[in-house]
Amino acid sequence: TCSLLRSPKGFPRLKNDTFLRAARGEETEYTPVWCMRQAGRYLPEFRETRASQDFFATCQSPKLCCELTLQPLRRFPLDAAIIFSDILVVPQALGMEVVMVPGKGPMFTEPLKEVEDLLKLRQKVDVTAELGYVFQAITLTRHSLEGKVPLIGFSGAPWTLMSYMIEGGGSTTMAKAKSWLYRHPEASHQLLRLLTNVIIDYLVGQVAAGAQALQLFESHAGHLGPELFQDFALPYIRDIAQAVKSKLKEKALPLVPMIIFAKDAHYALRNLAHAGYEVVGLDWTIRPQEARAQIGKDVTLQGNLDPCALYAPKEKIGELVKKMLESFGTQRYIANLGHGLYPDMNPEHVGAFVEAVHAHSRHINKH
């Protein structure tokens, strides 16, 4: 239960640290597994909890975020929880208005059109004032998990957030946002730097609140080629890892493992392997052996089953999982999907995926 009466610290002892050990490259008796968007609309109980609520109002309710984060863990033996929130809370903290339009997704009421629009953004953000509700949700959830599994915090990466702020919503081409990179490189860097500073404080605040690992989502990396990624995404991804770690040390907070997930960025895997993250997340468009060859032995890999594989019959899911584990190896590896769960997926198939990872990895480790 998610009651708000607990003391903020003095968290319960962690009972299952398999996910954290894999993230740090330590040996595990089986391969840990969690799913991106595991707290989501594919669960009937999620739809019930969210039914009458505005999406961002839900994000701002620590009690509801806690409940939604715990729901998949009541059903499946997942090895990690990820806090229920949204990457667009960061643009909101900068003073932009975002609404969730049913059937359409998130929409910005006033996207950034001209370089001058940057002046409308808050230049200094007090993350506790603007995003304290996420920190409360993390602390509450960390207590409510009762040490069952670790809790992951997250943020969108600068380029992905910038692209939403300029496009005003989803886009198949990101042409408006990319045109800024070509037409207004200086203003683009200014915006990316502003986002980076907020994200650093936001992630450090999440650890202070109780997050035991952090994932950075560069969901729109696939819209950039190697050059644009090198100029406008990678430097900020690197800065975030470095600054978060030095601030955690400064504040005597735990040095938690960090995961970078740059969707469709196989052109940048070698760079991401050296960007300062313990774990590199992979989408389903790359062969495990190729990813391992490019990333090397010192970084843990996470991924990368095609989410649509969960539409297959359960036996087939088991076969695909076995093949994936044989390709990645069971160590220095965290099983996941190559992107988030879709709303029309059958929860039983999600359960089959999780159980197959545990069963097959134990079997491979024994033999």
Known catalytic residue at 292: no
Catalytic residue, chosen from 21, 24, 41, 193, is 41
Both tokens assigned to 350: 């999600």
Which position among 37, 142, 238, 332 bears the catalytic label?
Answer: 37
- Asked if 37 is an active-site residue, the reply is yes
Q: Indicate if 287 belongs to the active site.
A: no
Helices (H), the chain: 18-23, 44-50, 55-59, 62-75, 89-93, 127-144, 158-167, 175-183, 185-209, 226-232, 234-250, 269-273, 288-295, 314-328, 347-366
Q: How far apart are CA 203 and CA 135, in angstroms?
A: 10
Which residue is catalytic, options 50, 142, 238, 332?
50
Q: Are 118 and 192 in contact (CB under 8 A)?
A: no
Q: Does residue 128 contact residue 208 with C-beta atoms inside 8 Å?
A: no
Say if residue 365 is preceded by a cis peptide, omega within 30 of 0: no
Residues, the chain: 367
Active-site annotation holder among 6, 21, 75, 86: 86
For 66-81, the DSSP string reads HHHHHHHHHHS--S-E
Active site residue 50: yes
Residue with tokens 């920190």: 135
Catalytic residue status for 277 = no
Instruction: Report d(CA 267, CA 273) in Å as an integer.
Output: 12
Instruction: State how far the Cα of 124 lies from the Cα of 111, in Å rounded to an integer.
Output: 19
Active site residues: 37, 41, 50, 86, 164
